[in-house]
Amino acid sequence: MKGKTFGGSQDYVASEELLSAVNIAMTLQKPLLLKGEPGTGKTMLARSIASSLHAPLYIWNIKSTTKAQDGLYVYDVVQRLYDSQFGGEGVDDIEKYVHLGQVGEAFESEERAVLLIDEIDKADLEFPNDLLWELDQMEFTIPQTGRTVKAKHRPVILITSNAEKELPDAFLRRCIFHYIEFPDEALMRRIIGVHYPDLEQNLLDQAIAAFYWVRGLPGLQKKPSTSELIDWIRALTFSGIPQEEILRQIPFAGVLLKKNEDLESLEKSKARRRF
Amino acid sequence: MFTDFFYYLRSQGLAVSLQEWLTLCEALDKGLAGASFTRFYGLCRAVLIKSEADYDKFDSAFIRYFRAIAEASEEIPPELMEWLNKPAVTPGNYDEEIARLNSLLTPEQIEEMLAQRLKEQKEEHNGGSYWVGTGGMSTFGNAGNSPTGIRVGGQSIHHRAFRVAGERRFRDFTGDTVLDTRQFQVALRRLRQYSAKTDVPKTELNPDATVDATCENGGTLKLVYERPRINTVKVLMLMDSGGSMDYYSGLCTALFQAVRKSNHFKDLKIYYFHNCVYSHLYTEPTCNPAKWVTTESVLNTLGRDYKVIFVGDAEMAPYELWGGQYAKRKSGLDWLLTIRDHFSHVVWLNPGTGDSYWGVCQTYDAIRHEFDMYTLTVKNLEKALKKLVSAR
């Protein structure tokens, strides 16, 4: 197998399936498309891969107004016009007004980089199609200067999606896909262990039991995710609430649940259960 | 053998493309699956399947295609499994000759041999080249040195291909299952038609027009802005709030919330009716006559361009639809048709399937005959919404 493989890192715990998907994508040099519930660590994964490969990380956050070209380069026409009007220096030098975007930067990087295209589904429906050539060939040309930016080392590309829009088939065909499931209890314990190495066993047991019970409530509009559990455990450790009360009372439920309706249904369920 | 699997997946409705198949072959060439069936399963899924909605379909196709191995592994007695899970590695028993012979075996032969061995084997064997065991040269067992073979046990039970596939954990994501709010919202985003012919402020710079204007201005910069393109879709939702709908209340609440939360519509109107639409529409789901408006006035105020979504089970007593003893007045069906013909795009979403325990309802058939009716699932909602924005 070429290059290094990724086996998780100290501060990031991943399932076997996810690790093998990352390694498949790295070996085949194809973008890895990640989907999953919010809070399953899609964005964190890129940081962790970058740090374990000692590679620079470029993050391209996609918004609804993002155009594919923005990630490659931006030609600041307006600035150049202004400069030409007021006799700024170096107006002839178009290169000065061409700024590389995150994809361009990752291509130009002297060592193999990690490129994260975050929440690609936020953008316009056609957005992924506009990147097909660039991600396949790992190069693009800036027509204004005639310069071709070609990847010196094929970057490791991670793409995350929250499934707000369906991605075009042509784009999907070029990706390796992995759906990050919500961590099961065993994996969750390892994740918590990374964040709180010295947590008392009893507190952990109680918190995890309560957390999965809350997640299992029917009709929740927004289920609590890993990051909320981590915040909640912090709140619990600082509060000094007796540990045996955690499961019964579920204190600071507002940390876990963010919607009024959800908090109400939690109260109702608490009243109904028998412990 | 593998090309068969490709066609099998396609015949099962999984849109695996040739490109993806070649990628898989490349991955196998590079040894990404190793000798592990679990990793082979994971590799196939990561490369070939691009949506969690298809995971379930893939799992069941995978199981069916590799059933022989699955059945063999089901016959493995638990004590054998347990012992296989704790491999005792025997170093230095690699035998090139056996490795060469083993690599010549076809998977079918290996399966057959495994089944046969399972019948014969009565005790533990580690480091050998015939029995099922750990660290050996036989084609079965785990942590072994044979170039081909079936992995029996080993690792966590969850990471074995057939256990993983067999659990079918992704059943919930299948496109045919009924939706939750978020899935509704995602689907509703399809309901978009962009237009720049709106009355919002001009905030977007138009570079081409700016260049032209600047040139005409004798070279002094002149910026030209234009209106951003925004969604012009207007929606009228008519929900059945009648008794027979109670059964679907959870589903309809989810849809209702999703529609309310979808703030990308230019306008959204929601009215309620009880079983069928008559001269009045209610503004509250309780169908309180104190809060009603006449259907006529709704039709008069809303233009033809509103997209109409009916939500109802279309099940009612026949006289409610056809009038019966009240035949003098305009019948329910006539009202429905009036609404249908007033607007250019109308769909009917039905949370039920029409077949209650007393058989398919008469009114269901009649309404389905007149409207584009869709049973409320992910796929169908998408179809219905596509219909709403399509040209007629």
pLDDT tens for each residue of A28-76: 889 999 988 777 778 888 888 888 888 999 999 988 778 888 889 988 8
Is A160 part of a structural domain of the chain?
Answer: yes
**Quick one: pLDDT band at residue B102, thresholds 50, 70, 90?**
low
Encoded amino acid at B148, one letter = T
Do residue B47 and residue A24 have CB atoms under 8 angstroms apart? yes
Question: Once rounded to an integer, what is the mean pLDDT over residues A82-108?
Answer: 83
pLDDT value at B190 more than 80? no
CA distance A127 to A129: 5
The Cα-based distances of B261 to A18, B182, B302, B389 in angstroms read 33, 10, 21, 20
Question: How far away is chain B from the Cα of A87, in angstroms, using its nearest Cα?
Answer: 13
Query: Which residue, among A124, A95, A132, A112, has the nearest Cα to A57 in the 3D structure?
Result: A112
Do residue A173 and residue B19 have CB atoms under 8 angstroms apart? yes
Percent of chain B with pLDDT over 70: 61
Chain B CB contacts of A181 below 8 Å:
169
Chain A CB contacts of B263 below 8 Å:
none
Q: Is B376:B351 a contact under the CB 8 Å cutoff?
A: yes
Question: Once rounded to an integer, what is the mean pLDDT over residues B368-388?
Answer: 84
Residue A177 confidence (pLDDT): 92
Residue B158 confidence (pLDDT): 35
Across the interface, of B23, B31, B50, the residue whose CB is closest to A1 is B31
Is A7 part of a structural domain of the chain?
Answer: no
Chains A, B: CB contacts within 8 A come to: 72
pLDDT value at B94 more than 60? no
Chain B residue with minimal CA distance to A180?
B52
Query: Are A201 and A173 within one domain?
Result: no
Q: Pick the range with the lowest mean pLDDT from A88-97, A206-215, B98-107, B357-366.
A: B98-107
Residue A114 confidence (pLDDT): 92
**Residue B371 in tokens:** 């409207």
Max mean pLDDT among A257-261, B134-138, B371-375 falls in B371-375
Percent helix, percent strand, percent coil in chain B, to nearest 5 = 50, 15, 40
Q: Mention the CATH class of domain B232-389.
A: alpha beta
Is A47 part of a structural domain of the chain?
Answer: yes
Query: Are A167 and A189 within one domain?
Result: no
- How many Cβ atoms sit within 10 Å of the Cβ of residue A147? 14
Residue A9 confidence (pLDDT): 67
Task: Give A15 or A72, the one with higher predicted confidence.
Answer: A72
* Chain B positions touching chain A (beta carbons under 8 Å): 15, 17, 19-20, 23, 26-27, 30-32, 39, 42-43, 46-47, 49-52, 55, 159, 169-170, 173, 181, 186, 189, 205, 207, 214, 219-221, 223, 250
Query: Are A116 and A20 within one domain?
Result: yes
Q: Is B155:B111 a contact under the CB 8 Å cutoff?
A: no
Q: Pick the range with the lowest mean pLDDT from A160-164, B146-150, B201-205.
A: B146-150
Strand A98-100 relative to strand B194-195: parallel, antiparallel, unpaired? unpaired
Categorise residue B151: left if φ over 0, alpha if ψ from -120 to 50, beta otherwise: beta
CA distance A232 to A236: 6
Task: Give B120 or A128, the one with higher predicted confidence.
Answer: A128
Do residue B186 and residue A177 have CB atoms under 8 angstroms apart? no
Residue B126 confidence (pLDDT): 47
Question: How far away is chain B from the Cα of A242, in angstroms, using its nearest Cα?
Answer: 35
Query: Are A130 and A100 within one domain?
Result: yes
Is A5 part of a structural domain of the chain?
Answer: no
Strand A73-75 relative to strand A98-100: parallel, antiparallel, unpaired? antiparallel
Q: Pick the range with the lowest mean pLDDT from B32-36, B74-78, B348-352.
A: B74-78
By CB atoms closer than 10 A (0-12, 13-18, 19+), residue A78 is middle
**Residue B80 in tokens:** 């054998």
Question: Once rounded to an integer, what is the mean pLDDT over residues A213-222?
Answer: 79
Query: Are A36 and A133 within one domain?
Result: yes
Is A10 part of a structural domain of the chain?
Answer: no
Chain B residue with minimal CA distance to A36?
B52
Query: Are A145 and A65 within one domain?
Result: yes
Q: Best interface-test mutation with A: which of B50, B230, B261, B262 has the largest number of A CBs within 10 A? A: B50
Please report the sign of the dihedral spanned by the C-alpha atoms of residue B60, residue B62, residue B68, residue B74. Answer: negative
Question: How far away is chain A from the Cα of B57, in angstroms, using its nearest Cα?
Answer: 15
Is A274 part of a structural domain of the chain?
Answer: no
Contacts of B315 (CB under 8 A, 6+ apart): B244, B352, B354, B356, B361, B363, B364
- Three-state DSSP at A12 gives strand
Question: Once rounded to an integer, what is the mean pLDDT over residues B207-232?
Answer: 82
Do residue A173 and residue B50 have CB atoms under 8 angstroms apart? yes
Query: Are A27 and A75 within one domain?
Result: yes
Query: Are A162 and A127 within one domain?
Result: yes
Query: Are A68 and A106 within one domain?
Result: yes
- How many Cβ atoms sit within 10 Å of the Cβ of residue A194? 14
Query: Are A91 and A151 within one domain?
Result: yes
Query: Which residue, among A166, A87, A184, A77, has the nearest Cα to A124 in the 3D structure?
Result: A166
The Cα-based distances of A133 to A69, A128, B46, B365 in angstroms read 12, 10, 22, 50
Do residue A20 and residue B26 have CB atoms under 8 angstroms apart? no
Task: Give A138 or B317, the one with higher predicted confidence.
Answer: A138
Do residue B27 and residue A1 have CB atoms under 8 angstroms apart? no
Q: What is the CATH number of the domain that holds A68?
A: 3.40.50.300
Q: Is A165:A181 a contact under the CB 8 Å cutoff?
A: no
Residue A59 confidence (pLDDT): 93
Residues present in chain A in total:
275
Across the interface, of A24, A78, A165, the residue whose CB is closest to B43 is A24
What are the tens digits of pLDDT across the range B150-187? 444 433 333 344 445 555 555 555 555 444 566 677 77
Question: How far away is chain B from the Cα of A170, in angstroms, using its nearest Cα?
Answer: 10
Residue B171 confidence (pLDDT): 53
Q: Where are the domains of chain B?
A: 2-173, 232-389
pLDDT value at A216 more than 70? yes
Residue A31 confidence (pLDDT): 92
Do residue B205 and residue A78 have CB atoms under 8 angstroms apart? yes
CA distance B228 to B205: 9
Task: Give B161 or B389, the one with higher predicted confidence.
Answer: B389
Domain assignment of residue A249, given as a range: 185-267
Q: Pick the range with the lowest mean pLDDT from A1-15, B119-133, B278-292.
A: B119-133
Encoded amino acid at B142, one letter = N
Identify the DSSP state of B192: -
Do residue B50 and residue A33 have CB atoms under 8 angstroms apart? yes
Query: Are A27 and A114 within one domain?
Result: yes
Residue A240 confidence (pLDDT): 79
Strand A139-142 relative to strand A147-150: parallel, antiparallel, unpaired? antiparallel
Domain boundary pick from A117, A150, A180: A180
Residue A60 confidence (pLDDT): 93
Chain A residue with minimal CA distance to B190?
A165
**Quick one: pLDDT band at residue B290, thresholds 50, 70, 90?**
confident
CA distance A50 to A56: 6
Please report the sign of the dihedral spanned by the C-alpha atoms of residue A203, residue A207, residue A210, residue A212. Answer: negative
pLDDT value at B37 more than 70? yes
* Chain A positions touching chain B (beta carbons under 8 Å): 1, 16-17, 20-21, 23-25, 27-28, 30, 33, 35, 77-78, 81-82, 85, 163-165, 167, 169, 172-179, 181, 219, 221
Chain A residue with minimal CA distance to B206?
A78
Q: Is the pTM of this model over 0.80?
A: no
The Cα-based distances of A56 to A25, A115, A151, B157 in angstroms read 18, 9, 14, 37
Residue A33 confidence (pLDDT): 92
CA distance B354 to B333: 17
Question: How far away is chain A from the Cα of B287, in angstroms, using its nearest Cα?
Answer: 24
Q: Pick the range with the lowest mean pLDDT from A3-12, A184-193, B131-140.
A: B131-140
The Cα-based distances of B290 to A135, B242, B268 in angstroms read 61, 17, 22
Do residue B214 and residue A221 have CB atoms under 8 angstroms apart? no
Question: Once rounded to an integer, what is the mean pLDDT over residues A77-82?
Answer: 79
Please report the sign of the dihedral spanned by the C-alpha atoms of residue A42, residue A48, residue B26, residue B105. Answer: negative
Domain count, chain A: 2
Chain B CB contacts of A225 below 8 Å:
none
Do residue B189 and residue A164 have CB atoms under 8 angstroms apart? yes
**Residue A234 in tokens:** 């912090």
The 3 state secondary structure assigned to A186-253 is HHHHHHHHHHCCCCCHHHHHHHHHHHHHHHCCCCCCCCCCHHHHHHHHHHHHHHCCCHHHHHHHCCCH
Question: Once rounded to an integer, what is the mean pLDDT over residues B284-301?
Answer: 80
Domain boundary pick from A163, A180, A197: A180
**Quick one: pLDDT band at residue A194, thresholds 50, 70, 90?**
confident
Residue A159 confidence (pLDDT): 92
Tokens 């012992």 sit at which residue? B83
Question: How far away is chain A from the Cα of B98, in angstroms, using its nearest Cα?
Answer: 26
Mean pLDDT of chain A: 83
Please report the sign of the dihedral spanned by the C-alpha atoms of residue A33, residue A37, residue A39, residue A41. Answer: negative
Query: Are A152 and A248 within one domain?
Result: no
Domain boundary pick from A180, A202, A219: A180
Do residue B42 and residue A165 have CB atoms under 8 angstroms apart? no
Is A273 part of a structural domain of the chain?
Answer: no
Is A48 part of a structural domain of the chain?
Answer: yes
